[in-house]
């Protein structure tokens, strides 16, 4: 349990400062329980035998201090105090529950933001290994499960333990032997229950979490490949996979919830047995009915509070055992990835005193090499490339030659094991944030959000911050003015998820417009036209050519037509540059005697 608490406090983070206030509410609630339940005995004795409190010195001093002389006044006073105590207790109990939910929901909100921030700042290598559905599951499901199955039950456990402890102290004053007996019995039942279900509940929690992650992954697969799924008519496969995992999840959750209600029935039976047995034993020992009635009244009133409190303790223990899988998972990622945000924060802080960026002049790759962790041979090796401002270069080669890896290295997404990349003579990894602010990446499949064209060009900006004058300028540069004129609501037209309402060429030009809007010096185009037909490709190439001289363009391509106007071409093979020079030098007519616009570079 101590290890679990350390992990919970790690995840709670800065919200820990609110815990003293919660503890104050728990203690206030317990104190009101003591007052309300403790006065039940004198109240019952006063009704059953009005003279019973006459010889109680403490009671006589108290009533004399308040100026109460008549027994009827004492009865009314006790009635009022009991009612006030219980109503006030109800009010405090409500606020305790409200505070618990508010604390847990605020912590969950902070964790969602924290983990998404961590994943977004994680290095590219991490995302190459991690399934996106798993990340979605952590951010949306595991944080929710932590709040509901760890944090709320833990806070309720503390709250109910204070209530039980306070009531047991009251009962000990009333009848010490009986209190010890009931305390030992309740403790034994809860300990037996917790030890018995701990591993079972953990297994159910793990099964439920893994099943939910699996069905999220299958849903992502079928929705992202919707066209292929429809054409191949393999919908049933994904339906069966989702249904299977949903069944596993439902079975695990049903079993876990059944464990939660078990303490209630155990404790009800134990408490009834105790009350009946206690009454019989006390009567056999010769105690008077009045004394038994007063004692049983206190014990009965206490049992009304003890039963739900101890029941919730058992439920909380069950939830905590079930949630340990989520806590372990979140803690591992928190510890593993927190260093990335720390590194990037440090890099960002280095930039705070920097002057405005100097104009881009040169990009130099010297003896760059990179090997993926699971690979036996380098993806790229001994790479030497020089790019000057305003230049247009092409990187070509067969599939698997290392082109995309090289682009990822240039973007700073991958860090080379050997060699260095320089921008204006300074290593880019000394200030990677600064370097990335110079670059724009235009892939084959542009990432577009289900929003307006305006918001897709100014991606990540609030409406009020978008510069419409700048939007008009980049629309012209990317040759999108005609598209805007044809759209029903112009720039405010919703273009659909991944730009489904636009053509392939239009989507690529939106990507170019986005890069220009953000004022990036270096445009990197990774197979940006490979999925387009010849006519559409010509339109996009025309947009790219218009940028020549003003922007530095690095093109990854298969088609000859895409790179014909590049200043320099680098050919890759097995991760190494085997040829470089002008288009004519690298792609000679003798090698491709029947070249046309759709001809590819691969041999």
Is beta strand 568-573 parallel, antiparallel or unpaired with respect to 552-556? Answer: unpaired
Distance CA 412, CA 346 (A): 17
CA nearest neighbour of 321 among 267, 262, 271, 266:
262
Does residue 370 register a pLDDT over 90? yes
pLDDT in the model for residue 365? 92
Does residue 535 register a pLDDT over 70? no
Residue 556's DSSP bridge partners are 395, 526
Q: How many of the other CB atoms lie within 10 Å of CB of 388?
A: 14
224 pLDDT tier (thresholds 50, 70, 90): low
**3 state SS for 191-208:** HHHHHHHHHHHHHHHHHH
Distance CA 572, CA 53 (A): 100
Q: How many of the other CB atoms lie within 10 Å of CB of 281?
A: 13
DSSP letter at 455 equals H
Is beta strand 522-526 parallel, antiparallel or unpaired with respect to 552-556? Answer: parallel
Q: How many of the other CB atoms lie within 10 Å of CB of 327?
A: 24
CA nearest neighbour of 161 among 36, 317, 19:
317
pLDDT in the model for residue 146? 87
Place of tokens 């044809």: 486
The lowest-confidence range among 42-46, 91-95, 236-240, 443-447 is 42-46
pLDDT in the model for residue 94? 81
pLDDT in the model for residue 57? 64
Distance CA 216, CA 318 (A): 26
Does residue 528 register a pLDDT over 60? yes
How much is the average pLDDT of 275-284?
A: 64
Q: Which domains does the chain have, with CATH numbers?
A: 101-335 (1.20.1560.10), 362-586 (3.40.50.300)
369 pLDDT tier (thresholds 50, 70, 90): very high
Does residue 351 register a pLDDT over 60? no
Does residue 373 register a pLDDT over 50? yes
Question: Which bin fits 56, alpha (ψ -120 to 50), beta or left (φ > 0)?
Answer: beta
The lowest-confidence range among 139-148, 163-172, 444-453 is 163-172
How much is the average pLDDT of 356-360?
A: 71
Is beta strand 552-556 parallel, antiparallel or unpaired with respect to 392-397? Answer: parallel
pLDDT in the model for residue 594? 39
Place of tokens 């919830």: 257
Helix/strand/coil for 350: helix
How much is the average pLDDT of 202-214?
A: 82
CA nearest neighbour of 324 among 208, 491, 169:
208
Question: Which bin fits 377, alpha (ψ -120 to 50), beta or left (φ > 0)?
Answer: beta
pLDDT in the model for residue 593? 38
DSSP letter at 452 equals B
pLDDT in the model for residue 591? 47
Counts for the chain of helices (H) and strands (E), in that order: 22, 10
304 or 162: which leads in pLDDT: 162
- The proportion of the chain whose per-residue pLDDT surpasses 70, expressed as a percent, equals 73
Does residue 408 register a pLDDT over 60? yes
Distance CA 407, CA 147 (A): 41
pLDDT in the model for residue 381? 92
283 or 412: which leads in pLDDT: 412
- The proportion of the chain whose per-residue pLDDT surpasses 90, expressed as a percent, equals 4
Distance CA 139, CA 113 (A): 8
The pLDDT tens digits for 173-192 are: 777 777 777 777 777 777 77
Helix/strand/coil for 531: coil
Average pLDDT value over all residues in the chain = 77
Q: At what angle do helices 504-517 and 468-477 cross, to 10 degrees?
A: 130
User: CB neighbours of 116 closer than 8 A, spacing ≥ 6?
Assistant: 139
């Amino acid at each position: 349990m101590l290890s679990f608490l350390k992990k919970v406090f790690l995840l709670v983070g800065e919200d820990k400062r609110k815990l003293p206030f919660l503890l104050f509410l728990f203690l206030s609630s317990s104190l009101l329980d003591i007052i309300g339940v403790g006065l039940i005995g004198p109240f019952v004795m006063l009704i059953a035998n009005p003279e019973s409190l006459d010889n109680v010195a403490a009671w006589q001093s108290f009533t004399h201090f308040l100026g109460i002389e008549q027994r009827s006044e004492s009865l009314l006073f006790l009635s009022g105090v009991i009612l006030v105590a219980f109503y006030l207790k109800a009010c405090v109990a409500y606020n305790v529950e409200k505070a618990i939910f508010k604390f847990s929901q605020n912590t969950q909100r902070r964790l969602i933001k924290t983990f998404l921030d961590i994943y977004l700042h994680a290095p590219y290598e991490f995302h190459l290994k991690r399934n996106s559905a798993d990340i979605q599951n952590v951010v949306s499901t595991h944080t929710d499960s932590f709040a509901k199955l760890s944090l709320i039950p833990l806070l309720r456990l503390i709250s109910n333990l204070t209530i039980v402890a306070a009531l047991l102290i009251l009962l000990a004053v009333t009848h010490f032997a009986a209190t010890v007996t009931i305390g030992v019995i309740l403790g034994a039942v809860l300990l037996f229950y917790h030890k018995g279900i701990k591993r079972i509940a953990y297994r159910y929690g793990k099964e439920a979490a893994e099943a939910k992650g699996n069905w999220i992954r299958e849903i992502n697969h079928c929705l992202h490949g919707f066209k292929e799924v429809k054409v191949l008519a393999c919908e049933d496969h994904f339906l069966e996979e989702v249904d299977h995992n949903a069944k596993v999840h439902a079975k695990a959750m049903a079993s876990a919830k059944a464990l939660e209600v078990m303490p209630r029935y155990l404790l009800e039976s134990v408490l009834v047995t105790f009350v009946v047995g206690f009454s019989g034993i006390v009567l056999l020992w010769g105690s008077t009915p009045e004394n038994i009635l007063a004692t049983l009244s206190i014990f009965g009133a206490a049992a009304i509070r003890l039963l739900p409190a101890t029941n919730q303790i058992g439920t909380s223990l069950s939830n905590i055992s079930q949630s340990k899988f989520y806590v372990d998972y979140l803690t591992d990622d928190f510890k593993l990835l927190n260093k990335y945000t720390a590194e990037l924060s440090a890099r960002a802080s280095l930039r705070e005193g920097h002057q405005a960026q100097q104009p881009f002049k040169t990009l130099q790759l010297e003896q760059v090499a990179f090997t993926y962790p699971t690979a036996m041979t380098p993806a790229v090796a001994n790479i030497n490339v020089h790019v000057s401002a305003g230049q247009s270069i092409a990187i070509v080669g067969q599939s698997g030659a290392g082109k995309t890896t090289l682009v990822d290295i240039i973007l700073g997404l991958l860090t080379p094991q050997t060699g260095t990349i320089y921008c204006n003579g300074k290593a880019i990894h000394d200030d990677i944030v600064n370097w990335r602010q110079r670059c724009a990446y235009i892939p084959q499949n542009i990432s577009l959000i289900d929003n307006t064209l305006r918001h897709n060009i100014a991606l990540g900006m609030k409406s009020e911050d978008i510069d419409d004058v700048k939007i008009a300028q980049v629309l012209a540069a990317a040759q999108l003015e005609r598209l805007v004129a044809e759209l029903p609501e112009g720039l405010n037209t919703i273009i659909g998820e991944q730009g489904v309402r636009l053509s392939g060429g239009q989507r690529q030009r939106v990507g170019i417009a986005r890069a220009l809007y953000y004022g990036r010096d270096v445009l990197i185009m990774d197979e940006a036209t490979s999925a387009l037909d010849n006519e559409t490709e010509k339109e996009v190439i025309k947009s790219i050519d218009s940028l020549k001289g003003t922007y530095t363009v690095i093109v990854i391509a298969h088609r000859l037509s895409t790179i014909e106007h590049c200043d320099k071409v680098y050919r890759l093979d097995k991760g190494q540059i085997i040829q470089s020079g002008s288009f004519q030098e690298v792609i000679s007519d003798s090698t491709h005697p029947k070249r046309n616009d759709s001809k590819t570079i691969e041999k």
